[in-house]
Amino acid sequence: MGSSPSESRTSVAQPEKNPIADIPAPQVLGNLGNNNVNQHYIQPKVEGIQVFSRKSRKATKSSLQPYQGWELPPEPNRGPYHQYVHELVEAGWDSLKFLDESMGTDIEDKELVISVLDITEDNQRRQWPDMHDYTVLKKFLDEQGREGAKVRLYMAEQQGPLSAGVMEAFGSSLNLDPRFFQWSIKGNKHVLEPSARHRAPFMSIGFGVPKLSTPSVTDAERFKVTIYVKPDSVGEGWTGVFLFSSHTKMALSSRNLIDPPTFADHRPTSRALSPKSFRELYIETFAYLNLDYATASPFYAISYLLRLNCFCWDKFITNIRDEDHRINGVSDTTVGHAEEIQRSLSTVQRSGSLGWKGSEEPFVIETRQRLEEDFKHLVDQTDLLWQTREKMAATRRQKAETRWSALTNTFTYVFAPVTIISGVYGMNVSQISGSNTNPSIWQFFVAIAVLNVLIVLSLAVASWFHTLAKHRRKAGLKEVFWFALGKTGR
């Protein structure tokens, strides 16, 4: 019978010798003819002392070598896919080190929901019950085959980082590229070069929606949907894995993504508008898809997800524009919207990924052209919005500088006449000098007031001539006096 690793180590290991026990018993030296020799002197063996000192020293790099009885640290409890990723890191793929560390961290399945949707051979939708645990997902992947389904889509939604169990289940059962999970966790930084990134079987779509945790409508919550498309080895079918990095729900109807029926057409029944996550909204859009086209082209299958992305960004940009108009200025908002919209446009232009099939089908070309037109319009509107905000910010800075200049002018109007008149009069007033030959103190204030009036009139006249010369019109009395008094409004 075989024994466990711990039992094997116990049976092989020898008890460590006590270095003090190796010292031989003390010997009494006999009289060798030298009467000066101390017969009671005990000479210990030097070898035992050397062994004792070696055991007492701190361990060094050279001394940390396996020897009999050495206890190796226990190996982490890695799954097969995690072990595969770990071996890739040790072999030199340092870009996967973060994924290796993430899979070694026990992350709770926080609000995990996994939906499975099939497109059957007869072009029907078949949805399986939702799963909320990675062990149930693993069992489903191992036991449920693809019989009767041309396309199977897995849509995983989790608040926060993806748990290691979900990555282990998907990666080992579907034989997925580990860079897909690295991309989902950390983004596309240092994962793939641009040429390889555009041809990879996976891609991501960045979303921006109003942040519900703040009262401001211009604060955005950013999340992404990472998509992996794996074609079948036999046949025309494929498998898709969708990782939604947010559980945010919005009171939005998926019918906003399609054209309404005409007046003469049948009108759909009304339904209550309840908050739905983006996973639920995307599942609803399969009612509007041509499932035969979705089987032939993964890009067509995600086209409504891209329309939802464009709709959300357009709504958010409109919120910023309305808030700027409401406050008549530049509202506070997060940045990076234009870059994310531009990335979505690039994704549309590549039909998702250059490695996906069916990109040259006529219905795919038509879908791509419509989406490209929508995203180009959104990019133009975003650029126009930021240009307008920059101009408004420049105007606001100019007004602030003008207000500061007006404040400086006000101090000048008050203290310049006081300085001049004080220099003329000094303390030569009758109330201070006691002589009636000096002017009274009230004449001092009259002189200041008269000088202030003369300064204001001079500035008003100068403003009137300046307006006439520059704008070829005569300025009104109120306008020139507002300018003379340092006011910016007209």
Residue 72 has a pLDDT of 44
**Residue 422 contacts residue 443 (beta carbons within 8 Å):** no
Which of 75, 81, 74 has the alpha carbon at shortest distance from 165?
81
| 43 against 233, higher pLDDT | 233
Residue 188 has a pLDDT of 64
**Residue 131 contacts residue 111 (beta carbons within 8 Å):** no
DSSP 322-378: HHHHHHTS-----S-HHHHHHHHHHHHHTTS-TTSS-TTSHHHHHHHHHHHHHHHHH
Residue 8 has a pLDDT of 39
How many CA atoms, within 13 angstroms, populate the side-chain half-sphere of residue 156? 26
The SS3 of residue 403 is: helix
Least confident of 197-206, 308-317, 478-487: 478-487
> How many angstroms separate the CA atoms of 410 and 85, rounded?
72
Average pLDDT over residues 78-87: 94
Residue 186 has a pLDDT of 81
The SS3 of residue 219 is: coil
| 73 belongs to a structural domain | no
Residue 455 has a pLDDT of 78
**For residue 35, is pLDDT > 60?**
no
Residue 111 has a pLDDT of 82
438 to each of 419, 427, 433, 442, how far by Cα in Å?
A: 19, 10, 8, 12
**Residue 191 contacts residue 179 (beta carbons within 8 Å):** yes
Same domain, 101 and 236: yes
**Residue 19 contacts residue 50 (beta carbons within 8 Å):** no
Same domain, 330 and 468: no
DSSP 94-135: GGGHHHHHHHTS----TT-EEEEEEEETTS-EEEPPPB-SHH
Same domain, 459 and 376: no
Same domain, 233 and 351: yes
Name the residue range of residue 34's domain.
16-56
Percentage above 90 pLDDT, the chain: 40
**For residue 118, is pLDDT > 50?**
yes
| 251 against 450, higher pLDDT | 251
| 5 belongs to a structural domain | no
Structure confidence at residue 313 as a pLDDT band (50, 70, 90): very high
Structure tokens at 206: 């960045």
Helices (H), 150-212: 164-174, 178-186, 194-197
Structure confidence at residue 433 as a pLDDT band (50, 70, 90): low
Percentage above 70 pLDDT, the chain: 76
Residue 31 has a pLDDT of 41
Average pLDDT over residues 286-306: 96
Residue 181 has a pLDDT of 94
Q: What is the CATH number of the domain that holds 193?
A: 3.30.460.20
> How many angstroms separate the CA atoms of 276 and 223, rounded?
16
In one-letter notation, the amino acid at residue 125 is R
Number of domains in the chain: 3
Residue 304: in which H helix or E strand, if any?
helix 303-327
**For residue 54, is pLDDT > 80?**
no
Same domain, 26 and 101: no
Average pLDDT over residues 39-62: 46
| 241 belongs to a structural domain | yes
| 85 belongs to a structural domain | yes
Same domain, 184 and 296: yes
The SS3 of residue 274 is: coil
| 416 belongs to a structural domain | no
Same domain, 383 and 432: no
Residue 378 has a pLDDT of 94
| 45 against 206, higher pLDDT | 206
Same domain, 155 and 285: yes
Same domain, 241 and 96: yes
**For residue 390, is pLDDT > 90?**
no
pLDDT in tens, 442-466: 777 787 788 778 878 887 888 888 8
| 332 belongs to a structural domain | yes
Residue 226: in which H helix or E strand, if any?
strand 220-231
Average pLDDT over residues 91-104: 91
| 295 belongs to a structural domain | yes
Same domain, 231 and 333: yes
**Residue 284 contacts residue 255 (beta carbons within 8 Å):** no
Structure tokens at 360: 């040259």
Question: Which residue's entry shows tokens 């940390």?
Answer: 64
> How many angstroms separate the CA atoms of 76 and 86, rounded?
11
Structure tokens at 91: 């072999």
Residue 61 has a pLDDT of 44
Same domain, 376 and 442: no
pLDDT in tens, 142-171: 998 888 899 999 999 987 778 899 999 999
Residue 150 has a pLDDT of 95
Last residue within a domain, chosen from 371, 394, 417:
394
| 66 belongs to a structural domain | no
**Average pLDDT over the chain, rounded to whole?**
80
Residue 446 has a pLDDT of 80
**Residue 325 contacts residue 193 (beta carbons within 8 Å):** no
Same domain, 441 and 378: no
Residue 381 has a pLDDT of 92
Structure confidence at residue 343 as a pLDDT band (50, 70, 90): very high
